[in-house]
Amino acid sequence: MERPDANKLKTQAKELRKTILKMLANAGSGHTGGSLSLVEILLSLYFYKMKYDPRKPDWDMRDRLVLSKGHGCSALYSVLAEAGYFPKEELMTFRKFGTRLQGHPQLGLPGIEASTGSLGQGLSIANGMALTAKMEKKNSRVYCIMGDGELNEGQVWEAVMTAAHYDLDNLCGIVDNNKLQIDGWCKDVMNMAPLGDKWKSFGWNVIECDGHVFKEIMNSLDKAQGAKGKPTVILAHTVKGKGVSFIENQARWHGIAPKKDELEKALKEIDEKDQ
């Protein structure tokens, strides 16, 4: 598949970050840090790698994405709107009463493949989808994005075993490895280093990349698709709150939204950046 223009992607990422911040500020609550870290990963999936048809969200042969770290949904919603699943105007209903854009992803919004938010369950769900595709000899692929903090959940490692046991090479896990969780740095809250070795020892193919560099992410996604006989995980090294200096690498920005003045400051900063 032909790669989208690099400059166009960078512009898209800037616009997406601004949209995410506006959605969060408009909602008055939400998860800023772990949404901003997802932008390049989601754009690479929806505008390069995944096959889907926004007019037919239930298309049988589509690739599927399970956002296991459901709290990053403001990023997913904005990418789904960009991809044409629903009108962009709906984005500003995020977290408001009566919306399809719930505080954590919920079935019912076109493009959402599973209700997630209780951490640790998404990879198992993705396995079920990948097993079905294998059983039915369909070549659709399944992607599952997890947080690095989420990897503390025991169920993740049950699912890691399952995917390897069933040689799910149609499954690709992506870890948004932003190094922070609610209580602080992951290494202090629950040190899971060496992370790549853990996945490797469980029988997975492991790729590491910079989760904010499109070329690296797209290369990794291609490699994952090419790897046969076992599942692949992409450890995408990211920055929590990426793109806004006063939000980056701050644990306290996990579960809060920008206030009006903070939003203005953030939007200005994004606009003034070269890329």
Partner 1 sequence: MKKISDELQFDMTRSGFGRGLVELGKANKDVVVLSADLSESTRIDWFRKEFPDRFFSFGVAEQDMISTAAGFALSGKIAYACTFGVFAAGRAWDQVRVSVDYMNLNVRIIGTHAGISVGEDGYTHQALEEITLMRVLPNMTVLVPCDFVEAKHATIKSAEWKGPIYMRLGRNKSPIITDENDPFEIGKGVLLKDGGDITIVACGQMVYEALKAAEYLSKDKIDARVINIHTIKPVDESILIKAAKETGAIVTAEEHSLHGGLGSVVSEVTSRNHPVPVKMIGMTECGQTGSPQELFKCYNLMAEDITKAARAALKMKK
How far is C-alpha 105 from the chain's CA centre?
Answer: 12
Q: How many binding residues for partner 1 (CB under 8 A)?
A: 29
Contacting range for partner 1; rule: CB under 8 A; set: 29-37, 73-81, 159-167, 179-187: 159-167
Which one of residues 159, 175, 206, 218 is an interface residue with partner 1 (CB under 8 A)?
159
- Does 114 engage in binding with partner 1 (CB under 8 A)? yes
CB of 217 to partner 1, least distance (A): 24
Query: Could you give the CA distance from residue 269 to residue 273 in angstroms, rounded to a whole number?
Result: 6
- Does 154 engage in binding with partner 1 (CB under 8 A)? yes
- Does 44 engage in binding with partner 1 (CB under 8 A)? no
Contact 41, 52 (CB under 8 A): no
List of E strands, the chain? 64-67, 142-147, 171-177, 180-181, 184-185, 205-210, 232-237
Query: Could you give the CA distance from residue 47 to residue 3 in angstroms, rounded to a whole number?
Result: 9
Output 8 or 165, the one with its CB closest to partner 1: 165
Contacting range for partner 1; rule: CB under 8 A; set: 86-94, 125-133, 191-199, 242-250: 125-133
Contact 16, 78 (CB under 8 A): yes
Angle at CA of residue 178, ends 243 and 124, nearest 5°? 125
The token pair at 41 is 């990963």
Which one of residues 6, 28, 29, 132 is an interface residue with partner 1 (CB under 8 A)?
132
List of E strands, 97-197? 142-147, 171-177, 180-181, 184-185
- Does 98 engage in binding with partner 1 (CB under 8 A)? no
Query: Could you give the CA distance from residue 178 to residue 98 in angstroms, rounded to a whole number?
Result: 32
Which one of residues 35, 74, 124, 181 is an interface residue with partner 1 (CB under 8 A)?
124
Which one of residues 40, 63, 82, 113 is an interface residue with partner 1 (CB under 8 A)?
113
Which one of residues 102, 121, 205, 238 is an interface residue with partner 1 (CB under 8 A)?
121
CB of 118 to partner 1, least distance (A): 5
Query: Could you give the CA distance from residue 64 to residue 172 in angstroms, rounded to a whole number?
Result: 10
- Does 129 engage in binding with partner 1 (CB under 8 A)? yes
Q: Please identify which residue in the block is written with the tokens 């390069």.
A: 48
Residues in 191-210 at the binding interface with partner 1, rule: CB under 8 A: none
Query: Using CB under 8 A as the criterion, which residues of the chain lie in contact with partner 1 when the complex forms?
Result: 107, 113-118, 120-122, 124-133, 135, 154-155, 158-159, 161-162, 165-166
